[in-house]
Amino acid sequence: MSQTSPNLSLLQLAALVGGQFPFVGDPRTSELGELLISGVAGASEAGPTDVTFLGNAKYLPALKHSKAGAALVPLDFDEAASPLLIRVGNPSLEFAKLVAYFAPTPIEWEPGIHPTAVLGSGVILGENVSVQPYAVLEPDVCVGAGTVIGSHSYLGHGARLGADCFLHPRVVVGERCLVGDRVILHSGVVLGSDGFGFENVEGRHVKIAQVGIVQVDDDVEIGANTTVDRARFGRTWIQEGTKIDNLVQIAHNVIVGRHSLLVAQAGISGSTKLGDRVTLAGQVGVVGHIEIGSNVVVGAQSGVSKSLEPSALYMGTPAVPAAEYREQVAYIRRLHKLVDRVSKLEQALRSR
């Protein structure tokens, strides 16, 4: 609980999230509308002065036995539960408002250049830029207004960052790479490492020059220790609004469409193109030189070996439409029965 955020009564809390309270059918609500809520917690950990939420049906058993004082639930929720219930349109989204309300006061970064930072010639900084200790900005770097450059971060020659970006400590933006407005790069992100390009000449791997750039558009967020390789030529391009988790590898000349989601440990090989609103779940691997259509979801640990048509769910290795994958799994789980049947048939044939 934040020491600066006052407690909320249930009536105040419901008003903050636009929820329905008193909850129809719960006789307790008329008496307890003034119950004070002082923090947020998951259903299993919450106490009598906490509010929790139901964002996924699999947590319903935990909610029913939760010690929370109140819970945000969907509008059509009709189960009995221990906490006092507040109906909302989107429990997860509205709960985020409460998390922000009770959270500690956000850290504010003082504009200016720390004395230990190193700035090359021709660096251009917009208004209210904050350059933290030991950051290095090479010559001809340009940084937009309100951007924060975290400690020990490195911006290569001629790199461009837009306004209101936040670079956590130890971020690398390579030379000539372009970053839009309101981009968040978490610790360990590397934009513009060399693409993995080699040619085999007489049994030796000869490096192919990687002279392109990485372009990251507005409102992208990239998680810790994710790498985006520069293009062999042209650009590796992460388009507007895409969110990338930790430990993701994006190879040279890949294009990721707008508002896509790439989950932890996904890897995309070179020159592959993803459409808009594509989701790659955890540990998905994608081969190079293919296209994945818009609105595709690829299930966790799948391997994508060919282009995928838009607006579908794919699973498995190699990835196939979800219905086909489930059928394959069902057959595999019955293989032992098939083996038994074949064995019995063989015995019957030998006994003749």
Per residue in 125-144, pLDDT tens? 999 999 999 999 999 999 99
Same domain, 240 and 123: yes
Residue 90 domain-assigned?
yes
The CATH number of residue 21's host domain is 3.40.1390.10
Tell me which residue range forms the domain holding 47. Answer: 8-102
Same domain, 26 and 167: no
Residue 167 domain-assigned?
yes
| Confidence (pLDDT) at 26 | 63
Same domain, 121 and 82: no
Per residue in 147-193, pLDDT tens? 999 999 999 999 999 999 999 999 999 999 999 999 999 999 999 99
Final residue before a domain boundary, out of 46, 67, 102: 102
Same domain, 180 and 209: yes
Per residue in 312-330, pLDDT tens? 999 999 999 999 999 999 9
- CB atoms inside a 10 Å sphere around CB 218: 17
Same domain, 59 and 142: no
CB 9 within 8 A of CB 37: yes
Same domain, 266 and 149: yes
Residue 331 domain-assigned?
no
The CATH number of residue 256's host domain is 2.160.10.10
**Percent with pLDDT over 70 in the chain:** 95
For residue 25, pLDDT over 70 is answered with no
Same domain, 149 and 91: no
The length of the chain in residues reads: 352
Same domain, 65 and 164: no
| Confidence (pLDDT) at 157 | 98
For residue 34, pLDDT over 80 is answered with no
| Confidence (pLDDT) at 352 | 78
Which of 152, 157, 205, 252 is catalytic? The answer is 252
What is the number of structural domains in the chain?
A: 2
Global pTM value: 0.88
Same domain, 125 and 145: yes
Q: Using CB atoms within 10 A of its CB, is residue 210 exposed (0-12), middle (13-18) or buried (19+)?
A: buried
For residue 122, pLDDT over 50 is answered with yes
Residue 341 domain-assigned?
no
Same domain, 87 and 117: no
| Confidence (pLDDT) at 10 | 87
d(CA 254, CA 278): 14
Q: Using CB atoms within 10 A of its CB, is residue 222 exposed (0-12), middle (13-18) or buried (19+)?
A: buried
Final residue before a domain boundary, out of 102, 133, 148: 102
- Binning pLDDT at 50, 70 and 90, where does residue 1 land? very low
252 is a catalytic site residue = yes
Same domain, 60 and 130: no
Average pLDDT over residues 10-34: 75
Residue 347 domain-assigned?
no
User: Cα dihedral angle (174, 217, 245, 114), rounded to 10 degrees?
Assistant: 50
Final residue before a domain boundary, out of 102, 124, 159: 102
Average pLDDT over residues 28-47: 82
Per residue in 228-262, pLDDT tens? 999 999 999 999 999 999 999 999 999 999 999 99
Residue 68 domain-assigned?
yes
The rounded mean pLDDT for the chain is 94
| Confidence (pLDDT) at 27 | 61
- Binning pLDDT at 50, 70 and 90, where does residue 11 land? confident
Q: Token pair 């590796």 is at which residue?
A: 236
Same domain, 163 and 197: yes
| Confidence (pLDDT) at 2 | 39
Residue 333 domain-assigned?
no
Residue 332 domain-assigned?
no
Paired residues of 124 in beta bridges: 142
